[in-house]
Structure 1
Amino acid sequence: MLGDANGLVEAMKIAARNERESSKPVDVYFGEVISKSPLKINVEQKMILGEAQLILTRNVTDYTTTASVQWASGKNVFQIYNALKAGEKVILIRQQGGQKFIVIDRIGGK
């Protein structure tokens, strides 16, 4: 009889925990880039995330874009060197219930 009660209590605890987690869709974290290649980010000095766990936004990656420049005719293609570097501070969000972290942007800057 006592075993059934313990199982019920445990099930209620799990249900309550799941409800709390579902009410907050994302968690915000702060981290520091500790390695550029391979990319590694130390999150709040608690865990180190590798490339497989990270989703990078355009704000933190190198990319190519087309732009018009007033002093030149027509459009030109430009390479933007915006990849993260060791020592930079970043803001991340963790996907709900997931193991992936989205690197939103740098914090501060020079």
Structure 2
Amino acid sequence: MSELLQLIKQAAMEQVESSKPVAVMIGKVVSAAPLEIQLDQKLRLTEEFLVLTKAVVDYSINMTVDHTTESHTHSHSYQDDSTSRTTQPHTHNHAYVGTKSFTIHNKLKVDDHVILLRVQGGQEYIVLDVVGGGIL
């Protein structure tokens, strides 16, 4: 009878846990590779329990640009009849046009404080963003 009671209690607890709505939590990154986030003194989440958003990972993006570089003054050295020569200083800029790839560096770092959403049932946590630029 005791085993049956334990099974009923466990099933009831699982039902209560699975019915909990999403919860907002704050965690602290304690390891970047492999990624680990500490929620409280007892709960440390590893990568298999984390769903990372674009706000907390490095990624590349293509952007269309159409502008010129800032003006720059410089001269060039060259060899002429075994003599080293230098051109007169020249100021110029360059066109910077087209589709270019840029890397966004958002990867989590140790000591970052992050906002997490606990997915219903508590098996996965969505890492939304870093709190206040990483400092809490």
- The size of the alignment, in residue pairs, is 101
> Is 1:62 aligned to 2:58, yes or no?
yes
Which has more helix, going by share of residues? 1
> Is 1:97 aligned to 2:94, yes or no?
no
What 5-or-longer segments of structure 2 have no aligned partner?
68-95
What 5-or-longer segments of structure 1 have no aligned partner?
none
How does 1:1-110 map onto structure 2 within 5 Å?
Answer: 14=12, 18=15, 22=19, 24-71=20-67, 72-109=96-133
**Structure 1 residues 34-83: Cα deviation after superposition (integer angstroms, max 9, x where no partner):** 01000000013331001111110000001010112232211101111110
Which has more strand, going by share of residues? 2
Aligned Cα root-mean-square deviation (Å): 2.4
Q: Which has the higher contact order (CA 8 A, sep 6+)?
A: 2
Bigger Rg, structure 1 or 2: 2
Q: Work out the CA distance in 2 between the residues paired with 1:91 and 1:20.
A: 21
DSSP 3-state at the match of 2:63: strand
DSSP 3-state at the match of 2:128: strand
TM-score by length of 2: 0.64
TM-score by length of 1: 0.77
